[in-house]
Structure 1
Amino acid sequence: MWSLICLISLAFTPEVTSYSYGPPLGACARMFPKGHGVNSQTSVSPYEILVNATTYKPNDVIEITVNSTGLHDVTYFEGMMLQARRIACNVNDPTKSHGMFSVMAGDQFLTTMDCESNVKSAVVHMNHSKIESKVFYWKADFSSPVGHLVFRATVVKGKTTFWEKVYSPVIKDEASKAPLTICDSGADLVKIQSVFTMLSALILTMCITL
Structure 2
Amino acid sequence: MSPHEGHRKSLVTRQSYPRVPFSLLVNNRTYVPGQHIQVILTGDINFKGFFVQARSMEGDSGVPLGRFINPHVGSKVMSCSLSPTAANAWSHMDKYHKSDTTATWVAPPSNEGNIFFRATVVKEKSIYWENIFSDIVHYTGPIYQPTEPPELEPKNVPCTGGPRLAASITTSMMRVIVALVLIILMF
Pair 1:110 & 2:88 matched:
no
For residues 37-79 of structure 1, the C-alpha deviation after alignment (integer angstroms, 9 at most, x for no partner) is 42255653110011110011101110111101x2xxxx21100
> TM-score normalized by structure 2?
0.67
Percent identity of paired positions between Structure 1 and Structure 2: 29
Pair 1:128 & 2:103 matched:
no
Q: How many residues align?
A: 136
- Tell me the residue number matched to 1:61: 36
8 A Cα contact 2:33 2:141, kept in partner:
no
8 A Cα contact 1:78 1:129, kept in partner:
yes
Q: What's the CA shift for 1:175? A: 5.2
For residues 102-152 of structure 1, the C-alpha deviation after alignment (integer angstroms, 9 at most, x for no partner) is 124xx441000011242000001111010011121001131x210110000
- Could you tell me which of 124, 131, 138 is aligned with 1:165? 131
- Tell me the residue number matched to 2:53: 83
Provide closer, same or farther for how the CA distance between residues 160 and 98 of structure 1 changes in structure 2, counting only shifts above 3 A: same
- Tell me the residue number matched to 1:50: 25
- Partners in 2 of 1:37 and 1:110 — Cα distance? 19
- Tell me the residue number matched to 2:5: 35
Q: What's the CA shift for 1:36? A: 3.1
- Tell me the residue number matched to 2:106: 139
Q: What's the CA shift for 1:176? A: 9.2
8 A Cα contact 1:147 1:176, kept in partner:
no
Structure 1 unaligned blocks of 5 or more:
1-30, 178-210
SS at match of 1:118: coil
Q: Which amino acid letter does the alignment assign opposite residue 77 of structure 1?
A: F
8 A Cα contact 2:80 2:88, kept in partner:
yes
SS at match of 2:5: helix
- Partners in 2 of 1:158 and 1:54 — Cα distance? 31
SS at match of 1:115: coil
> TM-score normalized by structure 1?
0.60
**In proportion to residue count, which structure has more helix?**
1
8 A Cα contact 2:31 2:141, kept in partner:
no
- Partners in 2 of 1:32 and 1:61 — Cα distance? 27
- Partners in 2 of 1:129 and 1:176 — Cα distance? 43
Provide closer, same or farther for how the CA distance between residues 52 and 37 of structure 1 changes in structure 2, counting only shifts above 3 A: closer
Provide closer, same or farther for how the CA distance between residues 37 and 80 of structure 1 changes in structure 2, counting only shifts above 3 A: closer
CA-atom RMSD in angstroms: 2.1
SS at match of 1:76: strand
- Partners in 2 of 1:168 and 1:66 — Cα distance? 9
SS at match of 1:36: coil
Q: Which amino acid letter does the alignment assign opposite residue 136 of structure 1?
A: A
